[in-house]
Chains A and B, each alone.
Chain A
Amino acid sequence: MRVHLLVAASLVTMIWLLKFLQIGQFSTVVDEAALAFGFILLVAFIVGKAVKRVGLPGLTGYLFTGMIFGPYGIGVLHPSLQFVTAGALEELKVFQSIALGLIAFSAGGEMRLESVKKRLRGILYVASVPSLFEFLWVFAATWFASPYVDFGHELTTAGRVGVALIFGVIAISVSPAATIAIVLEYRAKGPMTTMVLGSVVVKDVLVIIGFSITLVASKILILGNTDWDITIVGIVAWEVFGSLGLGLLLGYILAQYMRYVGREMPLIVLALSFLAVELARDFHLSGLLLLLSAGFYVENYSEEGDRLVQAIDRYSLPVLVLFFTMSGAKVHLTDLLPVLPFVLLYVGVRVFAVWAGVLVANNMAGSSTHIKKYAWTGLISQAGVTLGLAALLSREFPEIGGTVSTMIVAAVAVNEIVGPILFREGLKRAGEVDGTDTDGDEAPAAHGGGH
């Protein structure tokens, strides 16, 4: 490990010196992206290994690396300390789409039909009850706290309800990517893993529906905009069912390709992941649901599941490292401090709501003790989806959106760090790390390639 850290430190020093002494220059920001790409891979991987030594998930190390070496980390002190600039991040966005796609493919490939069927009731409870709890608790907390926050002074009572609704629905969102990445990193398998993965997916659907409804309601309450657009129902239905349907179709096509051609699989998977995520955005679909159902189809309705997992497996580590380091690099550390009290309140209330909600849900579903105790840990992370919602808010509510968005982004930063650590601990205590299974009701499936 010492050698790794020495290499990382030398690399940081060398790049800093080159930039500080201005020995050369990049002709375009695109060239800069190649160096940033390599820098992220090497340094984040090494930091990830180092934090694993102290019992934290590698993912936390990747996030920290992004926060420190990204454009809003130490780079604000001096331009020579900008190891990953905002321009380079923009150029590397392509890898975020690929990563998101691969993560969704993996998640789909991890979900066995029998296992999901067996726990369907539990999954639905664990997704819906905590969502309701999160919504209500965060709604109430925001309502009571809003008079003490900057934007609260300017709002009417109806406006405060509108803002509370927004925070409530945003609290429901989780980061499927972070949850799935932890499952992959620790090769987790078992009933709790299946339940958390399934719940995260269902929650994603709930967020799509909930956010669309809340957005309309908040517009009426905050802006007094009473134009009710009925097409919103169609849009939401298209996003959910269209994504699932097209995903299954994509899964079918992919399975046929694997069966009859089967060459250049890693390239096919990488290109499909990128394409699906990008095109889904254009056609108002959910890239995550689309690829997840494609992976689910290949795993459960064809004989090519293992080959798909192998193809994904080959590039999954570099892609995950890039994805989470870039997510960390987008966190504005300097924006976190002014809104910290509200953020801590939001995070605390949300964590409590998830814990209580999962406990109630598992009691209703009659889950095992381990699931009751630890499944909540998998529903804490927030990242990409939440940030996307925050960006949408800034656009839709220009007057208050900026502050609300900053608060949400700051809360995401905290949840992004805390969530994976909690989930890793939860998996460990539930005995599902490395495919071990204490409940004994689901043997770890033999999966080609492993992770």
Chain B
Amino acid sequence: MKSLVGLAIIALLAVFGSRLLERHWHIPGPLKSVFGGGLIYLVAGYVLGPSMLGYVTGEVTVHLSPVVTIGLFWIAFLFGINLKWRDLRRLHNTLFLFVFGQAFAVVAVVGVAFWFLLPSVFGEIPLRELTAAVLTLAACASGTGQATLFRLKMNRNFRGPTAQTASVAATLDDLPAIIVTGLVTFFLHEATPAETHPPGFAWLGLAVSIGGLGGWVVELLLRRADNDQARLLLILGCMSVGGGICAYLSIAPVFVGAIMGVVYVNLSPRDDRVFEIVTRSESTLYVVFLILVGTIVKLQLEQLAILGAVFVGVRILGKVGGGALFQHWLRLPQNPSPAVGLALIAQGGLAIALAIQYARVFPSALADTVVTVVIASVVVNAVYAEPLALRAARAKR
């Protein structure tokens, strides 16, 4: 309990500190999105955590592991409830091809780069572990942070065909990442003697069933809830039960959470109240989640300098190159700028969630590095993602 007191103090300090800084200190333009997107809490967690000042001990992270589990589920559910079939079917087919095409371009370039890079940094890595690490890194790279584009739309007049295409891409391009990382945990995870893992396909079926059933139960309960407090309680309860069952069965919470969200939203497509509740309550959970994630980052500067720089660089290459290539090839009806990939640089909480999920299933030094690289990339990309997105929106078509 004492360690949790430390964390609560840190959460308060982080919130007070960041708001005071925002108010009384001129934050340089590029850092504004780090503050605005809440990534400052991630940095605060790292600075105050065991790696630097040691105010938050490793014990806290262990004790608050349920918060991380619920956080992973929450982020995935939030992603899932964006995927309304009613809205998606209105989109042009070529737009889907563009979204998934550029995502797979990123997966391909990041995957190839790290397939060769990781063994050169870590020495010989068993094939199963290497495949899992490379696929996770590639999947984390493929998605785009929706919150950044949403903030731009609200505050910086981020509009027009390029902005519109980028927004659709940001809503959808995490889907392959969730599927890939889910499959990694089902097929590449080697069960310990204590675990009774059935074959991968059976585990996949179980995960889909739990997600589907969970989504249906959420819909059944929420349809009958009479106020927002009850709705929040039911959502929180379903997330925690889902996350708890995933922990019990050692299956991917992000995968199950996303299915739950998709099933729920498509059973109840007209009810936007849940979306409002989830997004409104998100910040509280998200702040604690980010601080906790920050505390578990183990920064090895030499490795990070190489792996992080390559990850960020290759990802940009994949996003920009993939975006230009598929836009040119598909000739999207919206006719966005060929530089549309520049608007897809931001990364969000889902990338962190996927990396954490991987590290929980494959705990190792390699997994710690993967998490650190992804987190570093999310923070670094936050610095310049907004100006690049604005530039893309203004670029000639």
A residues in contact (CB < 8 Å) with B: 3-4, 7, 10-11, 18, 22-28, 30-39, 41-42, 45, 91, 93-94, 97, 257, 260-261, 263-264, 266-268, 270-272, 274-275, 278-279, 313-318, 321
Interface size classification for chain B: 35 or more
Is the C-beta of B195 less than 8 angstroms from some C-beta in chain A? Answer: yes
Interface residues of B in 64-103 (CB under 8 A from A): 65-66, 69-70
Given A10-B217, A38-B242, 15 extra CB contacts under 8 A: A23-B249, A25-B194, A30-B62, A31-B66, A31-B244, A32-B248, A34-B244, A35-B243, A38-B243, A39-B244, A42-B238, A45-B237, A263-B19, A264-B287, A314-B228
Contact indicator B229/A18 (Cβ below 8 Å): no
Which of the candidate stretches B10-18, B296-304, B350-358 sits at the interface with the other chain?
Answer: B10-18
Is the C-beta of B239 less than 8 angstroms from some C-beta in chain A? Answer: yes
Binary interface profile of B, 253-283, with partner A (CB < 8 Å = 1, else 0)?
0000000000000000000000000001101
Contact indicator A18/B247 (Cβ below 8 Å): no
Given contacts A28-B62, A42-B238, A313-B229, contact A34 B284 (CB under 8 A): no
User: Given the complex of chains A and B, what is the CA–CA distance between A299 and B282 in angstroms?
Assistant: 27
Contact indicator A30/B196 (Cβ below 8 Å): no
Closest chain-A Cβ to B50's Cβ sits at a distance in Å of 17
Given contacts A25-B248, A38-B240, contact A7 B8 (CB under 8 A): no
Is the C-beta of B305 less than 8 angstroms from some C-beta in chain A? Answer: no
Cβ-closest chain B residue relative to A43:
B237
Given contacts A24-B195, A275-B9, contact A30 B65 (CB under 8 A): yes
Closest chain-A Cβ to B365's Cβ sits at a distance in Å of 19
Partner of A314, one of B23, B240, B241, B281: B281
Partner of A261, one of B4, B20, B220, B242: B20
Given contacts A34-B240, A42-B238, contact A271 B233 (CB under 8 A): no
Is the C-beta of B156 less than 8 angstroms from some C-beta in chain A? Answer: no
Cβ-closest chain A residue relative to B242:
A38
Closest chain-B Cβ to A321's Cβ sits at a distance in Å of 7
Partner of A41, one of B233, B248, B284: B233
Closest chain-B Cβ to A254's Cβ sits at a distance in Å of 11
User: Given the complex of chains A and B, what is the CA–CA distance between A34 and B221 in angstroms?
Assistant: 20
Contact indicator A3/B196 (Cβ below 8 Å): no
User: Given the complex of chains A and B, what is the CA–CA distance between A85 and B63 in angstroms?
Assistant: 16
User: Given the complex of chains A and B, what is the CA–CA distance between A32 and B236 in angstroms?
Assistant: 16
User: Given the complex of chains A and B, what is the CA–CA distance between A42 and B230 in angstroms?
Assistant: 10
Given contacts A38-B238, A264-B284, A268-B15, contact A26 B217 (CB under 8 A): no
Is the C-beta of B234 less than 8 angstroms from some C-beta in chain A? Answer: yes
Contact indicator B232/A318 (Cβ below 8 Å): yes
Partner of A278, one of B5, B221, B280, B288: B5
Partner of B240, one of A35, A260, A266, A279: A35
10 interchain residue pairs of minimum CB distance: A35-B244, A38-B240, A41-B237, A38-B241, A34-B66, A42-B237, A31-B247, A317-B229, A24-B249, A34-B244
Given contacts A31-B66, A268-B12, A275-B9, contact A318 B20 (CB under 8 A): no
User: Given the complex of chains A and B, what is the CA–CA distance between A316 and B243 in angstroms?
Assistant: 22
Contact indicator A35/B245 (Cβ below 8 Å): yes
9 A-B pairs (CB sep. < 8 Å): A7-B221, A11-B241, A25-B194, A31-B65, A39-B241, A260-B23, A275-B9, A279-B5, A321-B233
Cβ-closest chain A residue relative to B38:
A264
Closest chain-A Cβ to B239's Cβ sits at a distance in Å of 7
Is the C-beta of B224 less than 8 angstroms from some C-beta in chain A? Answer: yes
Given contacts A267-B11, A275-B8, contact A91 B241 (CB under 8 A): no
Residues of B within 8 A of A274 (CB): 4-5, 8
Residues of B within 8 A of A39 (CB): 237, 240-241, 244
Residues of A within 8 A of B15 (CB): 263-264, 267-268
Closest chain-B Cβ to A117's Cβ sits at a distance in Å of 32
Residues of B within 8 A of A314 (CB): 228-229, 232, 280-281
Cβ-closest chain B residue relative to A18:
B248
Contact indicator A275/B5 (Cβ below 8 Å): yes
Contact indicator B23/A35 (Cβ below 8 Å): no
Is the C-beta of B165 less than 8 angstroms from some C-beta in chain A? Answer: no
Residues of B within 8 A of A31 (CB): 65-66, 69, 244, 247-248
Residues of B within 8 A of A45 (CB): 230, 233-234, 237
Is the C-beta of B250 less than 8 angstroms from some C-beta in chain A? Answer: yes
Contact indicator A27/B247 (Cβ below 8 Å): yes
Given contacts A268-B15, A271-B8, contact A42 B241 (CB under 8 A): yes
Contact indicator A26/B247 (Cβ below 8 Å): yes
Closest chain-B Cβ to A369's Cβ sits at a distance in Å of 34
Interface centre among A38, A94, A263 (most CB of B within 10 A): A38
Given contacts A7-B220, A278-B1, contact A267 B247 (CB under 8 A): no
Residues of A within 8 A of B238 (CB): 38, 42
Residues of A within 8 A of B9 (CB): 275
User: Given the complex of chains A and B, what is the CA–CA distance between A321 and B230 in angstroms?
Assistant: 11
User: Given the complex of chains A and B, what is the CA–CA distance between A94 and B1 in angstroms?
Assistant: 7
Given contacts A3-B220, A39-B241, contact A91 B233 (CB under 8 A): no
Contact indicator B248/A35 (Cβ below 8 Å): yes
Cβ-closest chain B residue relative to A271:
B8
User: Given the complex of chains A and B, what is the CA–CA distance between A36 and B65 in angstroms?
Assistant: 13
Closest chain-A Cβ to B33's Cβ sits at a distance in Å of 16
Contact indicator A35/B12 (Cβ below 8 Å): no
Partner of A7, one of B62, B196, B217, B250: B217
Cβ-closest chain A residue relative to B4:
A94
Residues of B within 8 A of A268 (CB): 12, 15
Cβ-closest chain B residue relative to A8:
B221
User: Given the complex of chains A and B, what is the CA–CA distance between A38 and B284 in angstroms?
Assistant: 18
